[in-house]
Structure 1
Amino acid sequence: MTDDVKYPIFDAADHIATADDAAILLETALEDAADDPGALPAALGIIARSGNMSDLARRVGMSRDGLYRALSEDGNPTWSTVLQVTKALNLRVEIHPEPRSA
């Protein structure tokens, strides 16, 4: 018996509905960034795909294709691009000291 059931391809962008969802994804990506420097750009790419990529690219000042490339799995965006994208998404990157262990 063959299994003719077709399953949709999972895309995390389909599950980012609010700014809180986006912030949680970015916080997780920042935690992973020490071991995976591509985690933050990849997370931004997911968030960007969850909305209107053309509008976001316009607000960032890039072409749509350029933004897709920069935030792709193989992309290597500049820190400036990362900050421009987060700002355009109404998000902010913050750094806080970790509590010292006793």
Structure 2
Amino acid sequence: MITKPFDIAEHLESTEDIRDFLNEVAQTGDEADFIHALNTAARAMGMSEVAKKAGVTRASLYKSLSENGNPRFDTISKVTKALGCRLTVA
């Protein structure tokens, strides 16, 4: 029996799940971890929907949030808002 690798995106079912996930990564991870978490959350919500809400193309969203991506701050901010979250400083 072949088992499918665990994908947290399959378990992020609501905006609250996504917010909790991103908050946890922001508290415990580094910048690369947060960008990876944005990718995961965007996949959970649907890349096309997130790209549309963020005002970017689906292809550029994939590229920005890829392992080798280097998104600008405005992209991170737009994607965060498209996911129903906001960036805050505590």
Q: Same fold, TM exceeding 0.5? A: yes
Distance in 1 between the 2:45 and 2:14 partners?
Answer: 10
Q: Give the TM-score of the pair, scaled to structure 1.
A: 0.80
| CA-CA distance at 1:95 after TM superposition | 1.4
Aligned positions, number: 90
Q: Give the structure, 1 or 2, with the largest relative contact order (CA under 8 Å, sep 6 or more).
A: 2
**Can you give the 5+ residue segments of structure 1 that lack an aligned partner in the other structure?**
97-102
Aligned to 2:39: 45
Distance in 2 between the 1:25 and 1:74 partners?
Answer: 22
Distance in 2 between the 1:37 and 1:52 partners?
Answer: 22
Q: 2:25 aligned with 1:62, yes or no?
A: no
CA deviation digits over 1:78-100, x for unaligned, max 9?
1110110111111111111xxxx
**Can you give the 5+ residue segments of structure 2 that lack an aligned partner in the other structure?**
none
Aligned to 1:84: 78
Runs of 4+ in structure 1 over 2 Å off:
none
Q: Give the TM-score of the pair, scaled to structure 2.
A: 0.89
Aligned to 2:12: 16
Provide the aligned C-alpha RMSD in A.
Answer: 1.3
Structure 1 or 2: more helix by fraction: 2
Bigger Rg over Cα: 1
Q: 2:63 aligned with 1:75, yes or no?
A: no
Identity across the alignment (%): 34
